[in-house]
Structure 1
């Protein structure tokens, strides 16, 4: 009773501050306490970001659009429900419509007309995105971040024209669009060389040539290239001179040589990386790992080496001994090591919070069990990709 009186005596500013730490579901529950909390819990300042995913009814979506007219960030799983927000909400600057099945060009036209000052747009996996959709997006002159991952029904020409109009783009994700070629990459670098900070692309049809400009992209902090099947060690040379880079992903680099990788991993840019992904790069070897951990043993937080089959116990031991800063280590499909060195993780890798050992057939569950006895909060995925839990271990 005294606690209730104490809460009632607090000014609204303090109560709103406390309520800002609650999840949206908890806010709805708290609103049932009394009329005052009902008013506070639905204050517009607490609902600037609204996520309506998974799906809700059209009627509920319409009611919410009328209630939260000051919403700035909106996430929907049904593009058809956006019309209510277009009508009632004028402040939206960030829109996420990932994997929506109804994002026709006409809806995008309405979005662009209603919110011309959009700064972030995520339409990943929207299968109905097409050439005309790109034309509409191109008119968003304030747009800084665009995610079109997996939007396969676009052409390279439409993407080039769109990106030319988006003059201040800082983040671009077009991974999963396999027919974007050198012309697109060159044009993006030419148009956004002074602003681009994040780039994620599908490298299936891309060669080394457009990446010669990488060292001139002074703001680039994150570069992710999947299917690096047509690039060579030359790409590694260009990346070595990209001083601002912090996160790097080069997946399936089948033409990278061991010599090229070793030289690259000795470069200054690797020394400052926070995240590195070399999954499916076939010439990542124990020697490669040695170069990596000698160069970067203080800033690297996440290392991903999925399906790097040439790593043995020796290479894994180097990682454990020299990577004290690592928080996440992902080794799916690295099947040669026995994992005996992993028992040193509690002593050597005290910051580790996630360890992926899926499809690591050489590593026995007894090793995982021993690690977790000393690090019970560590999340470890076993051979089957399932989180290993000590309470499920039989003591027979």
Structure 2
């Protein structure tokens, strides 16, 4: 007999013994009229024959465990009734519950997290928080830290007031695509967030006050492809140069209208990665020189989109010759913003532009020295697809120009889209062309 079955056998023996004890007392009372039989020597057969009939022990016919033992577990019938009624939520595996939770909206997922401890852990599983859009949420405090700590890969929350995210651990974040454009946030809070990032690929900090510490943190994100620092301030040329030397995979960079000196511009021109194909360095009338333009073109042979608006002190026709002379390779999607917002450009530059056979998109907005009647000359640009002439002609004359240039789309992009998360002309909620699954709806 195995050792495991001994406790059950002992329990069975104790139960049988307790059932037989009351019968021994009754036998003594009947022995006085039974012919003087000795109870100690009476066979067991006579004891069972003379004893009064006792109640039949109820046993369950189902289960091999009841064939030898005369007892039944009390909770077993209740379990059968529950299983017959249907499956219980607690019996579902985590994988199946995660599949169900992945179909919920952001609000429903947060409500679900308050059901119980298990559902709270499942509701904040990393697999459910890959992409989050919090546009419309006016104030973000602990929520931002919770979303980032939950393993968000894509987070969109521009134009938001950010307080203290209050991260509970010091571990690094998994976020890869982050849009904090024009947020109201203290520099120290931004330093805390970006110091935890090591896998950023797309980042927009447009309009924010930065620091050298933030730029040093960006330098550790060597996988950055798109970087938007439009309108930023607060960092030195040395930290900017260090970041550009480290982030060698940047393809699109927007450093327009920043609080830059000529040293900042020189740091960009001397250290810009050769991988850059889209560059917006507009807004520096007195700080961008011809030597800087030559250095940029020489370091970026694959440059296809260049925005140099508001560079006021250079002759634009010399720029075109400089770009061609330095071997600028023009691709099918070549975009030229050299002439926007310039008061020095005239119709004399048109023959030079016509030499760019791959030119597809051209912006001459607010170049007031170009007479509106001369815009019809762009019919000679057979490969030109879009033309930006904002501020040059009145809206009433725009249909006439469109009729004269039927193969060109007029005024399609009023703003530059270089490295920006979402184009100003688009109304969808995309993040560099990617959609977010969890969307805040107010």
TM category (shorter chain) comes to: 0.5 to 0.7
CA contact (8 A) 1:334 1:360 kept: yes
Aligned counterpart in structure 1 of residue 239 of structure 2, from 193, 198, 210: 210
- Could you say what secondary structure the match of 1:289 adopts? helix
Q: In the aligned structure 2, how far is the partner of 1:364 from the partner of 1:171?
A: 37
**Correspondence 1:54-203 to 2 at 5 A:** 69-70=101-102, 83-84=110-111, 91-101=128-138, 103-112=139-148, 116-126=150-160, 128-130=161-163, 132-133=164-165, 135=167, 141-155=173-187, 157-177=188-208, 179-189=209-219, 191-192=220-221, 194-201=222-229, 202-203=231-232
Instruction: Give the structure 2 partner of residue 51 of structure 1.
Output: none
Q: In the aligned structure 1, how far is the partner of 2:214 from the partner of 2:401?
A: 50
CA contact (8 A) 2:225 2:252 kept: yes
Q: 1:141 to 1:216 in 2, by over 3 A?
A: closer
Aligned length: 300
Are 2:406 and 1:375 aligned? Answer: yes
- Could you say what secondary structure the match of 1:264 adopts? helix
Q: 1:262 to 1:212 in 2, by over 3 A?
A: closer
RMSD: 3.7
Q: In the aligned structure 2, how far is the partner of 1:207 from the partner of 1:154?
A: 18
Q: In the aligned structure 1, how far is the partner of 2:413 from the partner of 2:207?
A: 28
CA contact (8 A) 1:250 1:278 kept: yes
Q: In the aligned structure 1, how far is the partner of 2:384 from the partner of 2:181?
A: 32
Q: Return the offset for 1:243.
A: 1.0
Q: 1:296 to 1:216 in 2, by over 3 A?
A: same
Q: Return the offset for 1:246.
A: 1.3
Instruction: Give the structure 2 partner of residue 11 of structure 1.
Output: none
What TM-score, normalized by structure 1, do the two folds share? 0.63
Instruction: Give the structure 1 partner of residue 42 of structure 2.
Output: none
Q: Return the offset for 1:357.
A: 0.9
- Could you say what secondary structure the match of 1:152 adopts? coil
Q: In the aligned structure 2, how far is the partner of 1:228 from the partner of 1:109?
A: 28
CA contact (8 A) 1:250 1:277 kept: yes
- Could you say what secondary structure the match of 1:327 adopts? strand
Aligned counterpart in structure 2 of residue 242 of structure 1, from 268, 273, 278: 273
**Correspondence 1:200-349 to 2 at 5 A:** 200-201=228-229, 202-213=231-242, 214-232=244-262, 233-239=265-271, 241-264=272-295, 266-269=297-300, 271-286=301-316, 287-294=318-325, 295-296=327-328, 298-299=330-331, 301-305=334-338, 306-319=340-353, 321-338=354-371, 342-349=375-382
Q: Which ranges in structure 1 are unaligned for 5 or more consecutive residues? A: 1-65, 388-396
- Could you say what secondary structure the match of 2:175 adopts? coil
Q: 1:339 to 1:281 in 2, by over 3 A?
A: same
Considering only CA atoms, is the larger Rg found in Structure 1 or Structure 2?
A: 2
